[in-house]
Structure 1
């Protein structure tokens, strides 16, 4: 298996729906990514501030491409 590099947190969200919209947008453009901490917050929403929200994780080498993809979508960029 090829080493893809380091995984970083691209963005954090307090709204799980918005996190999934952004994840879908990136995946539609060929960017592998995943969401973490969503289940923890679903089980206990009071931990939201303590753990820093829901995290969208990407490979570090995709960072600039992710920024460019989201910058193109002005409606989505206004939500972030």
Structure 2
């Protein structure tokens, strides 16, 4: 899933007038599962990879795929309760 999709789902489920804590928690839940992708992008760019190389090749390396799986599993389990 993409960060934009996480944002839309979280906004739909959690954003409520007057429920600031729930809205903040929902927003954090939006960013958490994709935080590894942003870290990966910046780390790989700092190491000299081109933007297209990051998402065509580096994104699929075992380290990053494993981290994505772990973070998305945590997010899914937290969402289910």
What is the TM-score with the length of structure 2 in the denominator? 0.38
Structure showing greater radius of gyration is: 2
By percentage of residues, which structure has more strand?
1
Q: Would you tell me which structure has more helix in proportion to its own residues?
A: 2
Question: How does the TM-score come out when normalised to structure 1?
Answer: 0.39
**RCO higher in 1 or 2 (8 Å CA, sep ≥ 6)?**
1
